[in-house]
């Protein structure tokens, strides 16, 4: 009988496009989300935790502005032939939740949600298939006061988590204004309209001259390849240029410039009026142009949104992978989407909201030095006598009850040096030692590991020579002495 082959061992690797998060990263994210939740709660928003799995039917068209049905999500078929999928954002589940529970929910319904989403897309540098989002939305409020409130809340959120005023700007635009521009241009062909939208989206990259070329015959890109243009005449393209370059020194100037760009278009003038009202409401709340501005160059997903759109951009400079200076860029975006709930109810339900890219915002905070310092580990109670584990557990319980993070060493206690190595690897600030002699005398030894590490790294020990690394204190003073050492750092 042939010898049966052993099954190969599985490879210990993360799937492509996914990653693992360890202690400090998880803690940093949790602390930041807690601060954001505090702002949302203060604004009157309630938390919602919806299912990570939705029916494919409920999710609808996957990924706003991406025509790839049955792609972009992780989906599977159930035995009853229904298709389910992991959520790709937090907005589609909100539409389903509101439609399902609308008779029990207040109107307007204000909710915030935080959690992972999954997208079955091609991964790349900094682009993962699982990532965190942090959303806040108001469903059932048609007034642009709801949009203005979202913008104010976003500005407050950035400052609370550690992005100072002057390092960010919240930019506001309106889909209706762009619709007015397209109406003024007289474009009836959907293909041309979509091509104009795509060109407008490139304004930040190619500038006014580049947009003119792309709206006309075309242009050479940075690689030397020729990009075909939309084929508009200069006169046809002019309203788009006027729209994109209409930002003035004040909100009032921008509004006047936009009125000129949309001409007699009713929907365009309606959008301009909404922007004017948003600016007035924000001004009344103390949110000036140093924090929030009307900016026609904001184009994010305009095919998805039906009214005002907003984007939070961080304006401080960082170095890219080639050492070149560039602005950090966008960390949040959103807008008004009045047609999403309609898929379920058949009736238009106004809605507006914002989504913060959690990983992007964490990266920004690290750049600003607001997070990312070495995490402090727990106090480690070493084990000198395994038969006295109860004594050590009593010590660690006292430390925990006093609010001090602590643990008993649970490895093999035979080699005391390995216990201290473990404490170093855990970045522990303090080690507690109680051998038989200390037990008999009613004392404990408390070792300052942070000071010990500084001495080890210092070329000269003179600056530390007056500071002892280890203290013998009465057993009753354990908590007080540990706290005294921790308070120094």
- Dist. CA 333–CA 158, nearest whole Å: 13
Q: Say whether 409 counts as a known binding-site residue.
A: no
Q: Say whether 300 counts as a known binding-site residue.
A: yes
Q: Say whether 89 counts as a known binding-site residue.
A: yes
**Measured torsion, CA atoms of residues 315, 319, 322, 324, in degrees rounded to the nearest 10:** 60
Q: Say whether 376 counts as a known binding-site residue.
A: no
As given in the structure block, the two tokens for residue 41 are 């709660």
Gyration radius of the chain over CA positions:
29
Q: Say whether 168 counts as a known binding-site residue.
A: no
- What's the residue count for the chain? 489
Q: Say whether 437 counts as a known binding-site residue.
A: no
- Dist. CA 440–CA 84, nearest whole Å: 65
Q: How many CB atoms lie within 10 A of CB 465?
A: 9
What backbone torsions phi and psi does residue 64 show, to the nearest 5 degrees? Answer: -50, 135
Q: Say whether 46 counts as a known binding-site residue.
A: no
What backbone torsions phi and psi does residue 293 show, to the nearest 5 degrees? Answer: -130, 155
Contacts of 241 (CB under 8 A, 6+ apart): 208, 211, 212
Are the C-beta atoms of residues 253 and 245 closer than 8 Å to each other? no
- Residue of 458, 456, 451 lying closest to 489 (CA atoms): 451
Sheet containing strand 470-474, strands side by side: 406-408, 379-381, 430-433, 443-448, 470-474
The annotation places the binding site for L-histidine at: 89-91, 119, 133, 137, 300, 304-305
The annotation places the binding site at: 89-91, 119, 133, 137, 300, 304-305
């Amino acid at each position: 009988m042939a010898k049966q082959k052993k099954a190969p061992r599985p490879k210990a690797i993360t799937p492509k496009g996914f990653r693992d998060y360890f202690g400090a990263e998880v803690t940093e994210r949790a602390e930041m989300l807690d601060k954001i939740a505090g702002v949302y709660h203060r604004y009157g928003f309630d938390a919602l935790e919806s299912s990570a799995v939705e029916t494919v039917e409920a999710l609808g068209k996957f990924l706003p502005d991406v025509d790839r049905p049955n792609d972009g999500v992780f989906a599977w078929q159930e035995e009853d032939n229904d298709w389910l999928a992991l959520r790709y954002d937090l907005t589609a589940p909100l539409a389903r939740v509101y439609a399902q529970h609308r008779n029990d929910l207040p109107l307007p319904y204000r909710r915030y949600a935080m959690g992972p989403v999954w997208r079955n897309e091609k991964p790349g540098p900094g682009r993962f298939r699982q990532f965190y989002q942090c959303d806040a939305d108001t469903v059932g409020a048609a007034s642009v006061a709801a949009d203005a409130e979202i913008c104010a809340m976003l500005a407050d959120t950035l400052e609370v988590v550690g992005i100072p005023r002057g390092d960010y700007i919240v930019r506001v635009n309106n889909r209706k204004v762009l619709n007015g521009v397209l109406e003024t241009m007289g474009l009836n062909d959907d293909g041309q309209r979509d091509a104009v939208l795509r060109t407008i989206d490139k304004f930040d990259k190619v500038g006014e001259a580049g947009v003119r070329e792309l709206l006309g015959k075309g242009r050479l890109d940075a690689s030397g390849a020729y990009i075909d243009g939309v084929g508009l005449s200069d006169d046809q393209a002019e309203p788009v240029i006027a729209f994109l370059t209409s930002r003035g020194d004040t909100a009032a100037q921008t509004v006047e410039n936009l009125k000129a760009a949309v001409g007699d278009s009713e929907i365009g003038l309606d959008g301009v009026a909404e922007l004017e009202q948003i600016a007035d409401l924000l001004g009344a709340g103390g949110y000036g142009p140093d924090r929030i501005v009307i900016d026609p160059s904001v184009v994010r997903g305009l095919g998805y949104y039906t009214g005002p759109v907003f984007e939070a951009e961080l304006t401080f400079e960082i170095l890219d992978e080639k050492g070149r200076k560039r602005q950090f860029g966008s960390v949040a975006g959103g807008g008004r989407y009045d047609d999403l709930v309609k898929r379920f109810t058949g009736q238009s339900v106004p809605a507006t909201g914002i989504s913060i890219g959690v990983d992007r915002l964490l990266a920004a905070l690290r750049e600003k030095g607001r997070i990312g310092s070495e995490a402090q580990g727990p106090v480690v109670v070493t084990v000198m006598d395994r038969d006295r584990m109860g004594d050590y557990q009593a010590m660690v319980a006292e430390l925990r009850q006093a609010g001090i993070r602590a643990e008993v060493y649970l490895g093999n206690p035979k080699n005391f040096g390995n216990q201290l190595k473990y404490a170093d690897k855990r970045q522990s600030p303090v080690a507690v030692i109680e051998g038989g002699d200390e037990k008999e005398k009613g004392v404990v030894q408390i070792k300052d590991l942070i000071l010990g590490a500084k001495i080890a790294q210092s070329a000269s020990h003179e600056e530390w020579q007056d500071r002892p690394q280890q203290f013998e204190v009465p057993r009753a003073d354990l908590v007080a002495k540990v706290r005294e050492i921790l308070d120094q750092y």
